[in-house]
Structures are given as structure tokens and as C-alpha cells.
């Protein structure tokens, strides 16, 4: 099955042809890897786990570069790595003055309080605007499970933030 | 504003913070001299050995401290970042800085082209025999011939860490972490620690607002029903960059290796396998002291202690609260 992570079309093989060098892979896929892991584990652990996964890929580049879906594989490597970071709080960034934004300042805390599965689903689908096929592949769940996570996550957020109609 | 719109609006903030964290994370990794590529490749690392051009000579540095140097105390953990000596490598003899004031010792070591790493032991620990602020032990020992730009670890004695959690050093025992003691109420613990315990996870509470540059990742306590039953501290990443500020009364520090743990505690350290399920995949050791137990959780890949808990039930999904 053609699998992918990120913005590429479903079914398209975006694995590497073996001649891509590591640096290009990091440039092309590193941000997606970080987005998935940050969605699940928060900023600090997510970034560290992504770095661990990329280091793992570097050390095994010959093998990883021939995989059909190296990014998906590295998401799972990152998840393994993240298990070592016990009890690190899930922290998501607050509003900063440099970025014009209108979201409720309580939103990051509300996202942190979601379960990891709901948070990952909501962040990838609703924040980063990934498609359901892309996100379900990245997270290793079926699309119907993913939709459930998104629905429940949004319900929790609405309850906590009291959605307004403005 | 609808929740979906707010989430879309959040994207710029999240992406900017993620990118910044990734850059900042790469910058924080100091590149020790290593013989195989590791995660430090992500940093534009300049090999220290390649850039230092200092004339080396076999030296015996005279002690500037008037008191005769103290004994070397317990053996320190050998560093793992000393490059191997191969044919063609420039070698240097490590000077003696035992008994020197720590900052002077660092200056001497760095002037000779070595990389100095300090580790601290509390002056009430059995490992500490030098006065406070002075070098109690060094590794490699004086007179050892090592590759150029190797790491020299200086063990420095510092005051007993019994204070607030912002203090430079904290001592952990089966019943305390700094001034926080098992049996306190959460309110008393907050006053003693000097922090509000506003973070929570796995039944463990911790202060979210640790001082900038705090070298560990968390300190916290298990306080079900509002009473402290356990204290713990963890350092993920399993590196020993920078000073280690959590140590036991016997001078064992967070981030130290399993070999060093066994050297310090010997047969008192009982191995416990990783639990079959739960948050942790790590095994560890439990040490029984007179006033309770200390649990040491080990990072399997690096064979270093990444968490120490006092009063813990054992290694488990949550070693602090069982």
C-alpha cells in the first residue's frame, strides 16, 4: 500500500529512491516528523524524540533510505524514544506577541489536557490541516478511529473553552 | 470564535515554537569529541581537537591551595567521551589539579586544551574529602597520557544540598529531596521547595516553572491525599553535560553510569527488571538504606541513571507512587 506522511497525495510513493542524501531527507521530512511527535508529546519531548529518531536514521541510513515510508517508520522510532522521557510534562506554546493570533489563550492548556491520542488527532487534522489518510498513516490508526479521536477531542475542547458563536 | 477556527489560527504559533525549539535543541548539544556520529551531527559542530593549537608539555601543576590536597575519595566515573589513542594521535599528559580551587582548576585544564567537566558531591557525602569549592578528585588521574582535547572530569565538593529546589545542588535521600521531606503536606512541601507544584502527571506533582538552565528535567513528589510519600528527580537524555545537581549522600549523581552505581552501592543495589507494562521500559536498582529505599531507574541504551526516587515503591509504571 502506498503510504505517506504529510501533504503528499495518497498512494504516491514518497519513499526515497536510495540516492537521496540524508540532509535532503531531513529538510523535506524533518518538519512533518516533528509535527507528529510534538502533537503527541508536546514541544520539548516531541522535538527531542524527533532528534533521536533522526539520529537513529543517520546511523542506519543505508537501510532507512531504501524504505517505502521512512517517515512513518521514524515516527515509531520517535515514539519509542519518547518513552524514555518519563514524566516530562506535555507543554504546548502560548500566544506570542510577534504572531498575530486570535485563539483563546486557554487553548494550549486545553489541548495539553486532552489524551495523547485525541491531541495528536486534533493537532494534525485541525491545526496542521492534514488529510485523514495522511494522519491515520502517521499515527498508525484507522481513519474511523482517527475520526472518533478528532470528534471527542473537539467535544472536550468545546466543553472546556465554551465555544462562542462570534 | 468556533473551535475549528481557533485551532487553525493556532498553527502559526505552534509551527514557530516547534522550529525554534528544534534549533535551540541542536544548539544545546555540546559536541564532545566522539569516534562515531551521533545526534550531535545535527549541530554545526566544530571538533574541539581540530581547532585547538596549544603547545602541550608534560606538566605537574603546583597546588596553589595552601592546605595539602585531600585524598582522592571514592573513584569517580570514567568519562565516556575520551577519544582512543591511535597511531598518529597527539597525546598529552593530564596535569594534577587535585586540591585546587574549582575555577582555577578549570582554567588550567582548559588552557592545556582539555575539555573540563565538573561534577559535584555534597560535602557531607562519603565521597567528599576536600574543602567546599575545591577539586576532590579528577579523572583521568594526574600523569595519565591521553589524546589531545580529551575530557577531564573534576569532582568538586559543595555544600550539602538541603535547601530550596532552586539551590545549586540538591541531595536526595529515601526521605527527602533538598528541604522537602516525605510526610510533609503538599503545602509544606511547596514552602520548603520554594515552588508551586502546578504540574501533574502519573500521580506525580512537580513545579512547571523551574529556573532557567536547570539541568534536570523534573523534580517532583508523589502526594496522593495531599501528603508527600515519595520524592524524585529525573534527567532524560542520559548525558552528563554540565553540572549534575542531584546527588545521594554517597555522592552518586543523576546521570552517572550503572557501573558507578554498583561501585558505590555494591551488593546493596538490588536489580529490578523492567515492568511488563506501563509507561517505563527501563529496569533499575533499588537500594535499601537505614531510613528507607532509593530507586535508580536506568536508561538501557546509555546505561546511565535517569531517575532517582526516595521513598519509592519500586520500579513500575510510576516508580514514585507505585
The Cα of B63 is separated from the nearest Cα of chain A by a number of Å equal to: 42
Select from A93, A161, A166 the Cβ nearest to the Cβ of B3. Answer: A161
More confident residue, B114 or A19: B114
Region B84-111 average pLDDT:
74
CB A22 within 8 A of CB B37: no
Query: Which of the residues A33, A87, A104 would you substitute to probe the B interface, choosing the one with the greatest number of B C-beta atoms within 10 Å?
Result: A87
Report field, pTM of the whole predicted structure over 0.90? no
The Cα of B8 is separated from the nearest Cα of chain A by a number of Å equal to: 5
Residue B68 clears pLDDT 50, i.e. is over it: no
- ipTM, two decimals, is 0.86
Residue B316 clears pLDDT 60, i.e. is over it: no
The answer to whether B234 contacts chain A (CB < 8 Å) is yes
Q: So what's the pLDDT on residue B281? A: 62
Q: Strands (DSSP E) along chain B, which ranges?
A: 91-93, 115-122, 135-139, 145-147, 151-158, 170-173, 176-177, 180-181, 199-201, 204-206, 218-222, 230-234, 246-248, 269-272, 284-289, 292-299, 304-310
Look at A55 and B17 and tell me if their CB atoms are within 8 Å: no
Contacts of B160 (CB under 8 A, 6+ apart): B122, B123, B124, B171
Contacts of B264 (CB under 8 A, 6+ apart): B74, B127, B248, B250, B251, B252
Which residue has 554517597 as its cell numbers?
Answer: B250
What are the chain B neighbours of A59 within 8 Å (beta carbons)?
Answer: 36-38
More confident residue, B304 or B278: B304
| DSSP letter for each residue of B3-23 | HHHHHHHHHHHHHHHHHHHHH
Phi and psi torsions of B287, nearest 5°:
-120, 125
Beta bridge partners of B137: B155
Which of 1-60 (A) contact B at CB < 8 A? 30-31, 34-35, 38, 43-44, 46-48, 50-52, 54-55, 58-59
Q: So what's the pLDDT on residue B272? A: 85
Look at A51 and B16 and tell me if their CB atoms are within 8 Å: no
Percent of chain B with pLDDT strictly greater than 90: 6
Residue B131: exposure state from Cβ atoms within 10 A (0-12, 13-18, ≥19) = middle
Q: So what's the pLDDT on residue A39? A: 95
Look at A43 and B17 and tell me if their CB atoms are within 8 Å: yes
**Tens digits of residue pLDDT in B218-267:** 677 777 778 888 888 887 654 443 344 788 887 788 888 898 899 888 88
Q: So what's the pLDDT on residue A14? A: 42
Look at A63-67, A73-77, A102-106 and tell me which has the smallest mean pLDDT: A63-67
Helix (H, G, I), strand (E, B) or coil at A5: coil
Q: Tell me the pLDDT of chain A averaged across its residues.
A: 81
Whether the ω angle into residue B140 lies within 30 degrees of 0, i.e. cis, is yes
As a whole number of angstroms, the distance between CA A25 and CA A10 comes to 19
**Tens digits of residue pLDDT in B124-167:** 666 677 877 788 899 999 888 888 778 899 888 766 666 778 77
Give A2's pLDDT tier (boundaries 50, 70, 90).
Answer: very low
The answer to whether A88 contacts chain B (CB < 8 Å) is yes
As a whole number of angstroms, the distance between CA B73 and CA B156 comes to 11
How would you label A28-63 residue by residue, b for 16+ Cβ within 10 Å and e otherwise? ebbbbbbbbbbbbbbbbbbbbbbbbbbbbbbeebee
Amino acid at each position: 500500500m502506498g503510504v505517506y506522511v504529510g501533504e503528499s497525495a495518497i498512494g504516491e510513493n514518497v519513499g526515497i529512491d536510495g540516492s537521496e542524501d540524508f540532509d535532503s531527507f531531513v529538510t523535506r521530512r524533518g518538519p512533518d516528523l516533528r509535527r507528529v511527535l510534538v502533537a503527541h508529546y508536546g514541544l520539548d519531548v516531541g522535538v527531542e524524540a524527533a532528534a533521536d529518531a533522526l539520529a537513529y536514521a543517520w546511523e542506519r541510513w543505508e537501510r532507512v533510505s531504501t524504505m517505502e515510508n521512512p517517515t512513518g517508520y521514524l515516527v515509531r522510532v520517535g515514539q519509542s524514544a519518547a518513552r524514555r522521557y518519563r514524566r516530562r510534562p506535555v507543554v504546548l506554546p502560548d500566544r506570542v506577541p510577534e504572531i498575530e493570533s486570535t485563539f483563546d489563550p486557554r487553548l494550549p492548556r486545553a489541548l495539553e489536557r486532552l489524551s495523547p491520542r485525541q491531541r495528536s488527532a486534533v493537532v494534525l487534522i485541525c491545526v496542521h490541516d492534514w488529510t485523514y489518510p495522511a494522519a491515520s498513516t502517521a499515527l498508525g490508526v484507522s481513519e474511523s478511529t482517527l475520526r472518533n479521536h478528532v470528534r471527542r477531542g473537539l467535544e472536550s475542547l468545546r466543553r472546556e473553552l465554551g465555544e462562542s458563536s462570534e | 470564535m468556533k473551535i475549528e477556527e481557533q485551532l487553525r489560527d493556532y498553527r502559526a504559533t505552534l509551527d514557530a515554537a516547534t522550529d525554534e525549539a528544534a534549533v535551540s535543541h541542536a544548539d544545546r548539544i555540546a559536541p564532545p569529541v566522539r569516534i562515531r556520529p551521533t545526534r550531535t551531527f545535527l549541530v554545526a559542530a566544530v571538533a574541539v581537537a581540530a581547532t585547538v593549537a596549544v603547545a602541550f608539555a608534560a606538566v605537574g601543576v603546583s597546588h596553589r591551595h595552601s592546605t595539602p590536597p585531600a585524598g582522592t575519595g571514592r573513584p569517580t566515573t570514567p568519562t565516556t567521551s575520551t577519544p582512543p589513542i591511535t597511531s598518529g594521535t597527539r597525546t598529552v599528559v593530564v596535569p594534577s589539579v587535585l586540591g585546587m580551587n574549582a575555577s582555577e582548576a578549570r582554567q588550567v585544564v582548559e588552557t592545556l586544551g582539555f575539555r573540563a567537566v565538573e561534577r559535584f558531591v555534597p560535602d557531607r557525602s562519603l565521597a567528599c574529602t576536600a574543602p567546599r569549592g575545591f577539586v576532590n578528585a579528577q579523572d583521568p588521574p594526574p600523569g595519565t597520557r591521553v589524546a589531545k582535547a580529551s575530557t577531564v572530569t573534576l569532582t568538586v565538593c559543595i555544600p550539602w544540598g538541603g535547601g530550596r529546589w532552586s539551590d545549586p545542588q540538591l541531595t536526595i535521600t529515601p526521605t527527602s529531596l533538598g528541604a522537602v521531606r516525605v510526610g510533609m503536606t503538599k503545602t509544606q512541601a511547596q514552602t520548603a521547595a520554594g515552588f508551586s507544584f502546578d504540574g501533574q502527571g502519573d500521580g506525580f506533582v512537580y513545579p512547571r516553572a523551574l529556573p532557567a538552565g536547570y539541568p534536570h528535567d523534573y523534580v517532583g513528589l508523589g502526594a496522593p491525599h495531599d501528603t508527600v510519600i515519595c520524592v524524585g528527580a529525573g534527567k532524560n537524555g542520559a548525558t552528563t553535560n554540565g553540572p549534575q545537581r542531584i546527588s545521594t549522600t554517597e555522592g552518586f549523581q543523576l546521570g552517572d553510569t550503572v557501573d558507578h552505581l554498583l561501585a558505590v552501592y555494591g551488593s546493596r543495589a538490588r536489580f529490578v527488571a523492567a515492568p511488563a507494562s506501563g509507561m517505563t521500559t527501563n529496569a533499575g536498582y533499588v537500594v535499601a538504606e537505614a531510613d528507607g529505599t532509593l530507586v535508580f531507574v536506568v536508561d538501557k541504551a546509555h546505561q546511565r541513571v535517569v531517575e532517582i526516587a526516595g521513598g519509592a515503591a519500586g520500579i513500575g509504571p510510576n516508580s514514585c507512587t507505585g
